[in-house]
Amino acid sequence: MPFEFLEPVSSNLIADLMKFDKKSVGRNIYIHTDEWTVPDLKDIDIAIIVINETRGSILDNPVLLDFNEIRRNLYKLFPGNWGVSIADLGTIHPGNTLQDTYYLVQEITQDLLKADVIPILLGGSQDLAYYQYRAYDVLERMVNMVNVDATFDLGNVATTLTNQSYVGKIIVDQPYNLFNYSNIGYQTYFNSQEHIDLIEKLYFDAYRLGDVITDITIVEPIMRDADLVSIDLKALQNSFVSPEVISPNGFNHREICAISRYAGISDKVKSLSIFECFQENKHQYLLIAQMIWYFIEGLNYRTNELNIKSKKETLHYQVPVEDEILSFYQSSITKRWWIEIPFLPSGNNKLERHTLLPCTYNDYKRACNQEIPERWYKAKRKNEV
Assign 3-class secondary structure to 316-347: EEEEEECCEEEEEEECCCCCCEEEECCCCCCC
Residues 284 and 334 in one domain: no
Asked whether residue 191 falls in the same domain as residue 210, the answer is yes
**pLDDT for the residue 91:** 97
State the pLDDT at residue 34: 87
Same domain, 151 and 240: yes
Dist. CA 26–CA 16, nearest whole Å: 10
**Residue at a domain's end among 299, 326, 356:** 299
Kindly list the strands in the beta sheet with 178-186, ordered across the sheet, starting from the edge strand earlier in the chain.
30-31, 86-92, 46-51, 118-123, 271-275, 228-232, 143-148, 178-186, 205-208
DSSP states of 75-123 = HHSPP-S----EEEEEEE---SSHHHHHHHHHHHHHHHHHTT-EEEEEE
173: how many CB neighbours lie within 10 A of its CB?
A: 15
Q: How far is CA 19 from CA 26, 90, 290, 291, in A?
A: 10, 21, 20, 23
Q: What pLDDT, on a 0 to 100 scale, did the predictor assign at position 37?
A: 81
Between strands 324-330 and 315-321, the pairing is antiparallel
Residue 129 DSSP code: H
Q: With contact defined as beta carbons under 8 Å apart, do 234 and 276 qualify?
A: yes
**CA distances for 74 relative to 14, 30, 347, 363, angstroms:** 13, 13, 46, 38
Is residue 136 very low, low, confident or very high in pLDDT (cuts 50, 70, 90)? Answer: very high
Taking alpha carbons only, the member of 325, 332, 341 closest to residue 378 is: 341
Query: Which amino acid type is present at position 227?
Result: D
Name the residue range of residue 290's domain: 2-299
- Whether residue 367 sits in one domain with residue 220: no
Answer whether residue 354 shows pLDDT above 70: no
Asked if 113 and 184 sit in the same domain, the reply is yes
Distance of CA 40 to the CA centre of its chain: 25
Looking at the structure, tell me whether residues 111 and 196 fall in a common domain. Answer: yes
Please tell me the predicted confidence (pLDDT) of residue 215: 97
On whether both 229 and 350 belong to a single domain, the answer is no
Residue 157 gets which letter from DSSP? T
Distance CA 31, CA 37 (A): 8
* Vertex 177 angle, CA 102 and 117, to 5°: 60
Q: Please provide residue 369's backbone torsions phi and psi, each rounded to the nearest 5 degrees.
A: -95, 20
Reply yes or no on whether the pLDDT at 246 is more than 80: no
30 & 48 share domain: yes
Length of the chain: 385
Q: Are 261 and 315 within one domain?
A: no
* pLDDT-above-70 percentage for the chain: 94
pLDDT of residue 61: 84
pLDDT-derived band at 344 (thresholds 50, 70, 90) equals low
248 has pLDDT over 90? no
| DSSP 8-class letter at 251 | B
Q: Decide if 322 contacts 103 (C-beta within 8 A).
A: no
Lowest-confidence range among 302-306, 373-377, 381-385?
Answer: 381-385
pLDDT tens digits for 80-111?
A: 999 999 999 999 999 999 999 999 999 999 99
The count of domains in the chain is 2
Query: What pLDDT score was predicted for residue 239?
Result: 58
Q: Does 341 lie in the same domain as 260?
A: no
pLDDT for the residue 60: 84
| Predicted local distance difference test score (pLDDT) of residue 241 | 61
pLDDT at 353 over 80: no
- In the predicted model, what is the mean pLDDT of residues 321-340? 94
Of 1 and 296, the one with more pLDDT: 296
- Do 205 and 229 fall into the same domain? yes
Tell whether the model's pLDDT for residue 347 goes beyond 70.
no
Write down which residue in 299, 328, 360 finishes a domain.
299
For 287, counting Cβ atoms within 10 Å of its Cβ (0-12 exposed, 13-18 middle, 19+ buried), the class is: buried
Average pLDDT over residues 49-60: 94
| Residues pairing with 205 in the sheet | 182
pTM for the model? 0.94
d(CA 5, CA 3): 5
Mean pLDDT of the chain: 92
* Rounded-to-integer distance, Cα 195 and Cα 152, Å: 8
> What confidence tier does 145 reach under pLDDT thresholds 50, 70, 90?
very high
Q: What is the pLDDT of residue 2?
A: 78
pLDDT above 60 for 349? no
Task: Read off the CATH number of the domain in which 195 is found.
Answer: 3.40.800.10
**Do both 216 and 337 map to the same domain?**
no
Mean local confidence (pLDDT), 223-242: 87
Of 280, 299, 318, which one is at a domain's C-terminal end? 299
Among 59-63, 152-156, 187-191, 346-350, the least confident range: 346-350
What's the mean pLDDT in 289-318?
A: 94
Check the CA dihedral 361-335-148-257 and report its sign: positive
